[in-house]
Amino acid sequence: AQRVTQPEKLLSVFKGAPVELKCNYSYSGSPELFWYVQYSRQRLQLLLRHISRESIKGFTADLNKGETSFHLKKPFAQEEDSAMYYCALLSKGYSTLTFGKGTMLLVSP
Amino acid sequence: EAGVAQSPRYKIIEKRQSVAFWCNPISGHATLYWYQQILGQGPKLLIQFQNNGVVDDSQLPKDRFSAERLKGVDSTLKIQPAKLEDSAVYLCASSVGRMNTEAFFGQGTRLTVV
């Protein structure tokens, strides 16, 4: 069975500091991984997906199959990045999307 | 495009009562998900539909929860009877297809069972 682990419930940084939100997964097969974000009073929405290899709002995430990780990084955090971040894994069989417990990112001025 | 619509936004019921939630996915989206999100946790999949067929309901407590997606469009999720531990936000999401497609979420229904 697939599993997504986000070890930090809360990550608090100052504006301009680098950010790394950790995500580890367990899955027997080739994973498809995503980061979803939920800003205050807004819907859960897709931030980025690993196959796109894109940078969204300055965030990047690299899939490391050896370490089974998909950490989300940003070199310089902004106050508007404050939100809940969820790592998610898409299984190939049923295409079930499994979420981690989430990490709250707080960026202080 | 219009997003995923859910109603009601909030519901308070007593334990052992019944409750139903409604979801209207984005037009043309074949896949529909219902998630339960308990406070402090990530969304947990309850049931996934592909058109009007169920593809995964392994985590749905079938003794009290039921869901249907008649005609492959709107969906309802029912709890009967509700327990205190069912207090959560119930999220509906939809996607175009099953493989590597973005899931779009509704705003959720916050259920409080007292």
The residue extents of the domains of chain A are 3-108
The string over B47-56, giving b where at least 16 C-beta atoms fall within 10 Å of a residue's C-beta and e elsewhere, is bbbbeeeeeb
Report the alpha-carbon distance of residue A98 to residue A91 in Å, rounded: 8
pLDDT of residue B11: 97
Residue A38's pLDDT is what?
A: 95
Query: Nearest C-alpha of chain B: how many angstroms from A92?
Result: 7
Of A49, A97, A100, the CB nearest to B33: A97
Provide mean pLDDT across the span B10-36.
96
CATH superfamily of A3-108: Immunoglobulins (2.60.40.10)
Q: Residues A29-33: contacts with CB within 8 Å, 24+ apart?
A: A29/A91, A29/A92, A30/A92, A31/A2, A31/A63, A31/A89, A31/A90, A32/A89, A32/A90, A32/A92, A32/B100, A33/A61, A33/A63, A33/A70, A33/A87, A33/A88, A33/A89, A33/A90
Task: List the single best residue of A34, A43, A48 to mutate versus B (max B Cβ within 10 A).
Answer: A43
- Residue-wise pLDDT for B92-112, tens only, equals 999 987 665 788 999 999 999
pLDDT at A40 (0 to 100) = 92
Q: Domains of chain B by range and CATH?
A: 5-90 (2.60.40.10)
- The per-residue pLDDT for range B7-18, each reduced to its tens digit, is 999 999 999 999
Determine the pLDDT at residue A28. Answer: 85
